[in-house]
């Protein structure tokens, strides 16, 4: 996500979501057709989720996940401006591994830019939901020693870890670049710390945040 008109904008400011894809892919063709008939563009919904742990409780009914999820609603339009398109391609590339763009063969050659299309999603609204914490069972089940003495309960943390970088078949660079090494190490550490911390929170934490139009609640 980012703002072409205000590149230094923070997450607390209005941002657009940029997606990339092959020029003839279905979403690109749909957006192209929709843009020609509607100034707002193609209505879209973008969803993402990440599981941070398996919550194992006394009963199958109360099993759960620790997770983070978000849904964005907006309108997609094709980026036609050459400068914005190049900026968005850099933004997308650096979202994979920070600072990766300048460590590659750039700028893209004409055939690459011609076969790639960029969508700009103007966000209209969105919501996010998070669950953190320990298992949550009924008071009656927790009071029954035949349950608590024989059934293991807890959280199995789940997190993404990066392994040691494996050189490609035509790689001739002896040392792994710092931006690759640091990203792998810091991301692995951060992912683990978050999942383990979420698993150990004493009371289940559930947060749901809407778009500011009354669809907000927190438990």
Q: Does residue 33 have a pLDDT over 80?
A: yes
Which CATH number applies to 16-218? Answer: 2.30.110.10
Are 45 and 126 a contacting pair, CB within 8 Å?
A: no
Of 9-13, 33-37, 85-89, 193-197, the poorest mean pLDDT is in 33-37
The residue extents of the domains of the chain are: 16-218
Q: Does residue 213 have a pLDDT over 70?
A: no
Phi, psi (degrees; rounded to nearest 5) at 126? -170, 170
Range 202-214 burial, b when 16+ CB lie within 10 A, else e? eeeeeeeeebeee
Is the C-alpha dihedral spanning 24, 29, 35, 40 positive or negative?
A: negative
User: In the structure, what pLDDT confidence band is assigned to residue 211 with cuts at 50, 70 and 90?
Assistant: low
* Integer Cα distance of 75 and 168 in angstroms: 39
Q: Does residue 214 have a pLDDT over 50?
A: no
Q: Where are the beta strands (DSSP E) in 112-177?
A: 116-132, 154-157
* Integer Cα distance of 38 and 91 in angstroms: 27
């Amino acid at each position: 996500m980012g703002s072409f008109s205000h590149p230094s904008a923070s997450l607390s400011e209005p941002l657009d979501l940029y997606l990339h894809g092959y020029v003839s892919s279905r979403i690109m063709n749909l957006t192209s057709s929709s843009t020609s008939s509607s100034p707002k563009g193609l209505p879209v919904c973008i969803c993402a989720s990440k599981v941070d742990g398996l919550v194992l409780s006394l009963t199958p009914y109360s099993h759960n996940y620790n997770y983070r999820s978000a849904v964005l609603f907006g309108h997609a339009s094709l980026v036609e401006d050459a400068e914005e398109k190049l900026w968005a391609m850099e933004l997308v590339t650096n979202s994979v591994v920070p600072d990766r763009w300048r460590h590659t063969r750039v700028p893209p050659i004409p055939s690459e830019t011609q076969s790639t299309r960029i969508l700009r999603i103007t966000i209209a609204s969105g919501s996010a939901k998070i669950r953190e914490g320990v298992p949550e069972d009924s008071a009656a089940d927790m009071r029954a020693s035949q349950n608590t003495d024989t059934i293991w309960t807890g959280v199995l943390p789940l997190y993404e870890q990066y392994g040691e970088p494996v050189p490609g078949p035509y790689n001739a660079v002896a040392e792994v670049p710092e931006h690759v090494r640091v990203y792998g190490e810091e991301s692995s550490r951060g992912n683990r710390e978050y999942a383990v911390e979420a698993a150990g929170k004493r009371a289940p934490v559930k947060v749901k945040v809407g778009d500011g139009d009354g669809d907000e609640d927190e438990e």
